[in-house]
Structure 1
Amino acid sequence: MEAQYQNRIKEYSCLAFFLILKLVLSFVLVNSVYELHRDEFLYLDQANHPAFGFTSVPPLISFFSLLIKLLGGGFYLIRFVPAFLGALTLVFCWKIVEAINGNLLSKCLVCIAMICSIFLRLNTLYQPNSFDVLAWTAAFYYLICYFDGEQPKYLYFFAITIAIGFLNKYNILFLVIGLFPAILIGRQRKIFTQKHFYFAVLVGVFIALPNIIWQINRGFPVLHHMKLLQKYQLVNVSLKNFLMSQFLFFINSFFFLLSGVSVLIWHKTFLKYRWVILTYLFTMLVFIYFKGKDYYTLGLYPVLLCFGAVYFGQILSKRYLVKGAVIAFTMVSFVYVLPLLMPVYSPAQIIKSHKRFESVGALRWEDGKNHQLPQDYADMLGWKEIAHLADMAYSQVKDKSTVLVRADNYGQAAAINYYSKYPNIGAVAYSDDYLHWFKLKKPAKDLILIQGTYDEDPQRKKEQPIFAKITKIGEVKNPSSREFGASVFLLEGAKININPIIEAEIIEEQQ
C-alpha cells in the first residue's frame, strides 16, 4: 500500500512538473516586442456583443472573452487561457497513455513530445485552436475508454465533448466524418447498435442546438465564411506544402509520431486500437479534398504521440543510454528549431536570418507569397500605434456622441476597442461581425477613418465635398507590421446626413 502511495505521489509530481513547465514556457518564449494577434482582438471584442454565434466562429470563445473581461482583461490573463487549455491537453494525453497501459516513462515522454512541438506555439495564441485540440484529444480518450470497457458514461462524455467542440470550432465535424468509416469497418461498429449511443447523440445535439438555430435563422453565415476562405486563402493551399507542414509541426517529436503510426498499423498489441489510425487517414483525406489549412489537422496528433510514447516507454524502460539519447535528441533539436517555432526573435533578428525561415516555409503567407516576417508575427505588431492615433483623433472631437470610428478591417477595429483609453470609442469595420455592430441611432457628424495600406484615395477626395474639414492624424510607422502605412483621418462637420450612405455600404458588404 505504501509503495502504491509513493508511486502515485511520484506520478503526480511528474505531471505537475510538466504542467508548470508548459505554462511557464508559453510566457517566457514570446519576445516582448510582440502584441496580441489581430484575431485575438476580434475574439476579445465579442465579449461586448454576446450571441449564440458569430460570422467567423461559434460562440464558445466569446464566453471565455467575457470571463477575461470580468477579470480585468489584462494581457497576461489573455495569454494564460490558451496556455491553460494546452496544459489540460497534456492531462488528457497522460490519461490516454494510462488507459492503454503505458508506464510512467511513457507518460513523461508524451509530455516531452507535446511540449517540443507546434503545440507550444499554438497555446500562446488566444484563438479557438487550443480548445479545438483539447476537444479532439478528449474525444479520442473517451472513445478509447468506451471501447475498452463499454461503459455508457463514456459515450455521453464523448458526445458532450464533440458538442462543446462544435460550439468552439466547426472544424471538429471533420473528426466526426473521419471517425464514422473508421469505426464502421472495424469490430467497434457494434457501437451503432447501442441505445446509449443514440441517447448520447441527442444530448450532444441539444447542447449544440442554440448555435444551430442561430445559423438557420441567419441563412448559415458559416457557409459564406467558408466561401471567402476558399476564395482568398484555401485557394493558395498546395498539397506539397500541406503535407510538408505535417512533418515540420513535429520535427522534434517525429520519432514518437512515426512510432505511434507504425504500432497502430502493424503491432499486434495495439490491434484493437487500429480504428485510431484509420480515423487519422480518413480525416486527413477529407482535409486534403477540401484543401484545408495545415494546422486544421493538429487535433489528430496528440493521440498518435500517446501511442508512440507507450511503445518507446516499453522498449526503453531499462535501456538507459538509448532512453537518454532519445530524450536528449528531442530536447536539443527543439532548442535548435525554437526560433522557427516560437516568436523569440525580434523582427530584426528574423530578417537577419531570412534564409533560415524561408527554407521551412515560415515566411509564406496565406496569399501564397513570401514576406519579411511570418504572417502571425506581422499580425502581432502595430496595433498600439493604430489605437494611439485613433485616440488622438477622438480627443479632438467635441461631441463624442455623434462620432463614428470606422476601421478598414476587424483587426484595426478590435485593437482600438482593446487599447483605447476611451471605453466607449466603439470602433467598427466593414468586415466580419462588425457589419452587425454599427450604432447609427444618431446622425454621425464626425468620422474617424482608419484606412488600410491599399488606400486608393489617400487624399480623401471622395469625402472632401461631404465634410467641412479633413485632417490626417498619422500612420503606422512600424515597417514590420502588416498594418504598416495604415492611416488615421479625422473627418469633421458632416454637411449632410451620412448615415444612409453608411447603411447602404453596410448592406453592400453584407451581400
Structure 2
Amino acid sequence: MKDKNPNRLTAYGFLVFFLGLKLILSFVLVNSVYELQRDEFLHLDQANHLAAGFTSVPPLTSLFSWLIKAFGNGVFVVKLVPAIIGAITILYCWKIVGFLKGNLLAKCLVAVACICSSLLRLNTLYQPNSFDVLAWTAIFYYLLRYFDQKEAKYLYAFAVFVALGFLNKYNVLFLIIGLLPAIIITPNRKIFTDKHLYLSILLVVLIISPNVIWQIDNHFPVLKHMKLLRATQLVHVNRFDFFIGQFLFFISSIFILLAGIGSLIFYKDFRKYSWIILTYIITLIIFSYFKAKDYYALGLYPVLLAFGAVYLSRVLVKKHILSALLFAFNIGTFIYLLPLLMPVYSPAQIIAHHKRFERVGALRWEDGKNHELPQDYADMQGWKELAAIVDIAYGKVKDKSAVLIRADNYGQAGAVNYYSKYKNINAVSYNADYLYWFKMDKPIKDLILIEWAGDEDPQRKSEQPLFDKITKIGELKNPYAREKGAAVFLLEGAKKEVTGIIKSEIKEEKNDY
C-alpha cells in the first residue's frame, strides 16, 4: 500500500538526498593524486587469509575485504564500503531524531552535521573506524528504544551491534565500560532485572567466542599489539590535545554539538536520557586516562548531534532566518575548512599552504613531529611506483615458486600485493599480520628485499656471503611519499642455509611480538 502522507514522503526524499550526497562527496572530495592508504592494503590482504582473528584487528574487516575481492577488488569498491557504512550511520542518526519526535528540520540538521564534519573524511578510508562509529551509534539507538518501550527485541539488536563492534574493533569495550556506571546510577538500572539482558549477553558471547578463543590460543596478541602501540604512538599523545580534538572534529557543527551536550544536561524533556551524557563524560575520562588517540571517541558524537538537532529544531521553530543561518554556518564553515578536513589539495598545494595546516596540528605525525604533509596523505603516495619496481625484480626471477619477497613493513607488502601486475605475488614482512603469512614449504632460491630509506646496510653487505649475486633494482623517488627512498634489491642464488636463517628470524620475531 502506497504511503500517501506527503510529509513522510518529503522526509524520505530528503533522506535519500543526504545519503546520496554522502556517497558522492566521499569520492569527489578526494584528489586523484592519492592512492590507497597504508592500512587499507593490510586490511584488503586479510581477504586472502581468512581467520577468526588477526594480530592487527579483529576478523570483521577481513569479511568486508572478502566481499570487496568478490566484487573485483577495485579502488572504487574499496572506497564504496566505508562510504556506505557512513551513510548507514546517518540513517541511524535520522532514526534517533525520529525516536525523539524530531521534525524534518531536526533530521536535516543532523544529516548536515554528520556530512560536514570529520566523519566524512573517516568514511573515505577503508579502516575499522567507520564501522566502529556505526556500531556505537546503533548501540545508543537500540538502548534508547529499549529504555522507552522495554521490548526485548531492542536488547537483542543492541547485543548484535556490541558483538559486531567487538569483532570490528576492541575499542567498543571502552563504550561498554562507560555505559555501565552511567546506567547503574540512573533509574535505567532496572535493566539488570530483565532476563533478556542476560540472554542478550549470552548472544554476544556466542558471536564473539571464535575470536576470543583465537586470542587465547595465540596468547592474546591484542595485548602485545596494545603494548607496542603505547610505546610507539600513544606515548606522543597529549591529553589536552585529545580534548581539543573532540571539538575540532565537529567545528563546523559546533552549535549542534554544544546544543546536544547542553540539552542533555539542562533541558527538562531530555532529563530521562541523562545516561547518555554520563556515558559521554565517563568514556572520555577513560580514554584520556589511557592517552588514547582523539578519534577513538568519534562514536560518541552522532547521538549527541541527534539530540542537539532536535533541541535546536524546537528552539528555532518558525524562526526561519535563524534556521537558515545555522545551515549557512555549518555548510560555509565546512567549505572554508575543506582543505584541512579532506584530501582535496595535492601535496604541492599543501606545502604551499604549510602554515595553515601546521596551525591546526595537521602536520604532526605519530612520532610527535611536524612534517611536510599530514601523515595519512604521505601514506597515500608512492605505492604504485614501489610495486612497479618490485615487478621489475620479480620479472627477472626464473623460478617464481622459489622466490621470497620480504618487505620492511606491512604497508610495503600490502601495496605490492595489491598493485602488482603479477597474481599471487605474496609479498610478506616481519611486521603485523604478514609475520604469519610466510610460505616456507620449499627452499628459497632468490630473495627480493624492500628496505626503508634509513636502512643501515644499503649495500647489503650482510647478505653478500649468502647469495651469488645482489642487484639494486631501484628505489622510490616520489618526494611526497612516507616511504621515499625505500630500495628494492634482487638477491639471486641463495645458499642452503638462507631458508633456515629466515625461518629462525620468523620464529624470533613471533616470540618478540
Q: Compute the TM-score of the two structures, normalised by the length of structure 1.
A: 0.99
Give 1:372-451 correspondences, 5 Å limit. 372-451=372-451
Deviations 1:327-364 (A, max 9, x none): 00110110000000000000000000000000000000
Give 1:158-307 correspondences, 5 Å limit. 158-307=158-307
Give 1:43-54 correspondences, 5 Å limit. 43-54=43-54
Distance in 2 (alpha carbons) for counterparts of 1:234 and 1:313: 39
Deviations 1:87-107 (A, max 9, x none): 000000000000011111100
Percent identity between the aligned chains? 65
Contact in 2 for aligned 1:444/1:497 (Cα 8 Å): no
TM-fit CA distance, 1:284? 0.5
Instruction: Indicate the SS of the match to 1:53.
Output: coil
Distance in 1 (alpha carbons) for counterparts of 2:3 and 2:182: 41
- Identify the residue that residue 33 of structure 1 maps to in structure 2: 33
Give the aligned residue type for 2:422.
Y
Distance in 2 (alpha carbons) for counterparts of 1:319 and 1:247: 27
Distance in 1 (alpha carbons) for counterparts of 2:386 and 2:243: 37
Distance in 2 (alpha carbons) for counterparts of 1:183 and 1:429: 45
TM-fit CA distance, 1:4? 5.9
- Identify the residue that residue 151 of structure 2 maps to in structure 1: 151
Give 1:323-334 correspondences, 5 Å limit. 323-334=323-334
Deviations 1:224-246 (A, max 9, x none): 00000000000000011111111
Give the aligned residue type for 1:445.
K
TM-fit CA distance, 1:495? 2.5
Q: CA RMSD in A?
A: 1.0
Deviations 1:172-219 (A, max 9, x none): 000000000000000000001110110110011101111011001111
Instruction: Indicate the SS of the match to 1:252.
Output: helix
TM-fit CA distance, 1:80? 0.2
Distance in 2 (alpha carbons) for counterparts of 1:203 and 1:131: 20
Distance in 2 (alpha carbons) for counterparts of 1:266 and 1:38: 44
Contact in 1 for aligned 2:347/2:480 (Cα 8 Å): yes
TM-fit CA distance, 1:503? 1.0
- Identify the residue that residue 465 of structure 1 maps to in structure 2: 465
Distance in 1 (alpha carbons) for counterparts of 2:495 and 2:275: 68
Distance in 2 (alpha carbons) for counterparts of 1:100 and 1:369: 45
Give 1:29-108 correspondences, 5 Å limit. 29-108=29-108
Deviations 1:108-144 (A, max 9, x none): 0000000010000000000000000000000000000
Instruction: Indicate the SS of the match to 1:36.
Output: coil
Contact in 2 for aligned 1:443/1:497 (Cα 8 Å): no
Distance in 2 (alpha carbons) for counterparts of 1:507 and 1:59: 23
Q: Compute the TM-score of the two structures, normalised by the length of structure 2.
A: 0.99
Give the aligned residue type for 1:127.
Q
CA, structure 1 residues 470+321, in 2 after alignment: closer, same or farther (shift >3 Å)?
Answer: same
Distance in 2 (alpha carbons) for counterparts of 1:23 and 1:383: 25
Deviations 1:402-437 (A, max 9, x none): 100000000000110001111121100011111111
Give the aligned residue type for 1:313.
S
Distance in 2 (alpha carbons) for counterparts of 1:403 and 1:278: 57
Distance in 1 (alpha carbons) for counterparts of 2:304 and 2:56: 30
Give the aligned residue type for 1:8.
R
Instruction: Indicate the SS of the match to 2:465.
Output: coil
Deviations 1:309-331 (A, max 9, x none): 00111111210111111100110
Distance in 2 (alpha carbons) for counterparts of 1:171 and 1:26: 24
Instruction: Indicate the SS of the match to 1:472.
Output: strand
Contact in 2 for aligned 1:391/1:421 (Cα 8 Å): yes
Instruction: Indicate the SS of the match to 2:198.
Output: helix
Distance in 2 (alpha carbons) for counterparts of 1:23 and 1:420: 28
Distance in 1 (alpha carbons) for counterparts of 2:78 and 2:470: 37
Give the aligned residue type for 1:160.
V
TM-fit CA distance, 1:3? 9.4
Give the aligned residue type for 1:386.
L
Q: Which runs of 5+ in 2 are unaligned?
A: none
- Identify the residue that residue 504 of structure 2 maps to in structure 1: 504
Instruction: Indicate the SS of the match to 2:497.
Output: coil
Distance in 1 (alpha carbons) for counterparts of 2:255 and 2:86: 21
TM-fit CA distance, 1:496? 2.8
Contact in 1 for aligned 2:3/2:9 (Cα 8 Å): no
CA, structure 1 residues 2+134, in 2 after alignment: closer, same or farther (shift >3 Å)?
Answer: closer
Distance in 1 (alpha carbons) for counterparts of 2:96 and 2:161: 15
Distance in 1 (alpha carbons) for counterparts of 2:394 and 2:223: 37
Distance in 1 (alpha carbons) for counterparts of 2:289 and 2:485: 38
Instruction: Indicate the SS of the match to 2:459.
Output: coil
Give the aligned residue type for 2:57.
V
Between 1:495-504 and 1:43-52, the stretch displaced more is: 495-504
Give 1:5-24 correspondences, 5 Å limit. 5-24=5-24
Distance in 2 (alpha carbons) for counterparts of 1:428 and 1:172: 30
Give the aligned residue type for 1:191.
I
Q: Which runs of 5+ in 1 are unaligned?
A: none
Equivalenced residue count is 511
